[in-house]
Amino acid sequence: VLSGCGVYDGTEIHEASAILVHLSRGGAEVQMYAPDVPQMHVIDHSKGQPAEAESRNVLVESARIARGKIASLAKLTTADHDAVIFPGGFGAAKNLSTFAVDGKDCKVNREVERVLKDFHKAGKPIGLCCISPVLAAKVLSGAEVTVGHEEEEGGKWPYAGTAGAIKELGGKHCVKEAVFSLIPFYEAHVDTKNKVVTTPAFMCETELHNIFDGIGAMVKNVLKLTGK
């Protein structure tokens, strides 16, 4: 499920690409969706500032990542899919929800909320990375998720405050360490009860290959939970 195209106002493109690569390697068939709604705003990524005169549609922008093969989120049903995955990027906090503005008092897009609740009710796994675990924390009360660490640690975890917000939303935050070993740099956290799998991705300032490996751990566990 995409939220636009570009880290500051939509989907984080590297995360979406990594998810697609790992799903392909895992033998999964993929269908992409996005809500057919206006973006909260448009960011000029070369300046990091809002482009005041512009407006864009989340579905239309997400189609850039999907190479045109995308459908409205309203058409996504649990009956046709074994799992659902949400990349991060500020679009998850701006277009899929109002978290970027309202924090713990945020509202979640009604189709996003429906999808999360439907997959949860059906016992089908849900994968989320970067900032998108806030969606599960808001919609699935008591869900265990991770956004990495709970302290900034000198700028290594610049969005560490999100962990506190997750607790205020009703979720349980689980700290995940950066592991220097043969296993992926990030451990994906697996909430076996709720079948929610999360990994920090760009919540940490680290090399791109570490983020790619962490997302791989998330995807691998999502596919494992499908039982296929």
Tell me the pLDDT tens digit for each residue of 105-133: 999 999 999 999 999 999 999 999 999 99
Active site residue 106: no
- Domain coordinates of the chain in residue numbers? 13-223
CATH number of 13-223: 3.40.50.880
Beta strands 84-86 and 126-129 are parallel
- Residue 196: what are its φ and ψ, rounded to 5°? -115, 125
Average pLDDT, rounded, for the chain: 94
CB 147 within 8 A of CB 133: yes
pLDDT band for position 177 (cuts 50, 70, 90): low
Identify the active-site residue in 5, 129, 130, 174: 130
Tokens 């429906």 belong to 114
Reference 193, options 135, 108, 132, 136; nearest CA is: 136
Cβ count near 24 (within 10 Å): 12
CB 16 within 8 A of CB 64: no
Asked if pLDDT for residue 192 goes beyond 60, the answer is yes
Separation of CA 92 from chain center: 7
Whole-prediction pTM value?
0.95
pLDDT at 73: 98
